[in-house]
Amino acid sequence: MNLLSNPEFLRYARIQLRPNKIVIAVITCAVISITTVLVVTQSLNDYPHRSVTGNQLLGLLFSLQAFLLAVGGGVACLNSIYSEKDHNTFDYQRITRLTSLELALGKLFGAPLLMYFICLCFVPLTFYAAVLAGARPSLVLAAYVVLFVSSLAFHSLTLLLSVLIVKGSQVTGILVCLLLFGIYSTDPRGNILTIGSLGPFAAGTFATAESWRTDNTYVSLFDHFFGFRLHHFPVLIFIDLFCAFWFLLAVVRNIKRDPQRYQVYSPTQSILFALTLNFLLIGFFARWTSVLDSQSFFLTMNLILFGLLGLALLHNRDSARGSLLAAHHQPLLLEALWPAPILLAGTLLANVLIIAQLIRLYPSSTGPSAPGSFLPFVLLRSLAFILWITTNFQFLQCMNLRRGKHPLVLGVLYLTVYYVCVLFVLASIGCFRVPQNMSVGSLFVPSAIYLLDRPNWIYNPSLWVAGFIIQVLLLFVLAFFQSRQLARLKSELAAVSTPT
């Protein structure tokens, strides 16, 4: 089934591209375009630098189109499934013979259709600006490709949010959408990363660049991947399509499912996604001040990544019940330990990649024969990270198996309150200022992830070790509590299992 015959796409086309809407959009864009041309023509009399004015206008127009397409289209995608759930029409979509992929593609391209049309209306003005600026046609075309592909990635993300958000959280959804757009549009090129912006605003950079080879202090169309110089265009297209693929995969996996049984990714997919993102992050990483600072950066990025993937992996009571019933009410070992094995495997593999890259980048600091090698501390920090992520999600899993309205939200709240309070107390007694006291903090929070280095270690190694042991013990304690939760769930099932 091609896109034009996709019923969902066709439905959006019928609703959004009715003649009256088209006429309004065309007239509005025409008025804006004509006014702009008149103002620019007038200004050229006073300031005869056509190419400068043209470049400014071109950049502005691409920013406007990026905002319209990415944010406008993103909000439309965010509403597409959420509002259908709200109006109780989504069940009718789920029961048709459309496959999950067809339904997802119909919504992905259909929901932002009006925004695509408005952008199309601005194309003549953009061409006028490009001619004025003397821009290369191939770069303007590339800018449109970038605009489309990066918007597509963002739309896939908002569509996924639309699948996952529950009733009553639309405003939160829109705020999250805007926040993500802000992060996505930031140009990360700097001291840490050697890659340009991946968001839709990168289109302006391409359109206004002097040539395909532009690479100067202010504008660069080149990235560095493991030291290799790559053009930003294929890199951007690849990464945005890669992200769109993964977000769309999650949408397709869940769009027609019973909402109680949502599972964003399978465990294998989660690990694969995390590892690929780590690989890209490591590849585009530039050498930073020190090996431990570099590691801190990677671990912070992975904190966000595994934080999101960990949430997606958690089982709710319904899925735990399903597993228990499927196993004929026998307790499941994997269920009692869930999601520890997956998170352990994922974080371990990610840290192997990180450490390998750090050894490559800092041979003099991490080499086995290097005096005062940082490698043991790199390893200990990674270990602290792995244990910390795993115990925290083990706790959240325990909470998610509790009966209540929003047990997971409550779990996240408990964790937040705990960390905020402990950090305040530790900071007030100077735990993070005085090297001798830093090891004390590791008993309560995983300070080893960021603070553990040679000078801090030597003051009190036994306390640092105790911090690690506490994390390991905590893991077992939480697994025990989880098995008790499952046993309770099992007894409830047994109580209602007598057929009437």
Q: Is 24 in the site for other proteins (CB under 8 A)?
A: no
Q: Is 4 in the site for other proteins (CB under 8 A)?
A: no
Smallest gap from Cβ 415 to other proteins, in A, equals: 22
Here's the x/- map for other proteins, 381-420, by CB under 8 A: it reads as ----------------------xxx---------------
Buried b (16+ CB within 10 A) or exposed e, 170-191: beebbebbeeebeebbeeebee
Q: Sign of the C-alpha dihedral, residues 293, 296, 298, 304?
A: negative
Q: Is 136 in the site for other proteins (CB under 8 A)?
A: no
Using CB under 8 A, which of the segments 224-232, 377-385, 416-424, 490-498 binds other proteins? 490-498
Q: Taking CB under 8 A as the criterion, which residues in 241-270 touch other proteins? A: 256-258, 260-261
Q: What are phi and psi of 222, to 5 degrees?
A: -125, 145
Q: Is 167 in the site for other proteins (CB under 8 A)?
A: no
Cα separation of 327 and 319, whole Å? 12
Count Cβ atoms within 10 A of the Cβ of residue 394 and give its class: 0-12 exposed, 13-18 middle, 19 or more buried. Answer: buried
Q: Taking CB under 8 A as the criterion, which residues in 280-339 touch other proteins? A: 317-318, 321-322, 325-326
Q: Is 93 in the site for other proteins (CB under 8 A)?
A: yes
> In terms of DSSP H, where are the helices of 17-136?
19-46, 50-66, 73-86, 90-94, 100-110, 113-121, 123-133
Alpha carbon separation from 151 to 54, 70, 109, 234, 299 (Å, rounded): 24, 5, 11, 16, 28
Q: Sign of the C-alpha dihedral, residues 339, 342, 346, 348?
A: positive
Q: Is 213 in the site for other proteins (CB under 8 A)?
A: no
Q: Is 20 in the site for other proteins (CB under 8 A)?
A: no
Q: Is 21 in the site for other proteins (CB under 8 A)?
A: no
Using CB under 8 A, which of the segments 8-16, 139-147, 194-202, 443-451 binds other proteins? 8-16
Residue whose C-alpha is closest to residue 155's, from 86, 93, 75:
75
Are the C-beta atoms of 259 and 90 separated by less than 8 Å? Answer: no
Nearer residue to other proteins within complex by CB, 401 or 452: 401
Cα diameter, the chain: 89
Smallest gap from Cβ 494 to other proteins, in A, equals: 11
Q: Of the candidates 99, 266, 268, 436, which one interacts with other proteins according to CB under 8 A?
A: 99
Q: Is 87 in the site for other proteins (CB under 8 A)?
A: yes
Cα separation of 50 and 430, whole Å? 61
Binding interface with other proteins (CB under 8 A): 5, 7-8, 10-11, 14-15, 87-89, 91-99, 256-258, 260-261, 317-318, 321-322, 325-326, 403-405, 492-493, 496-500
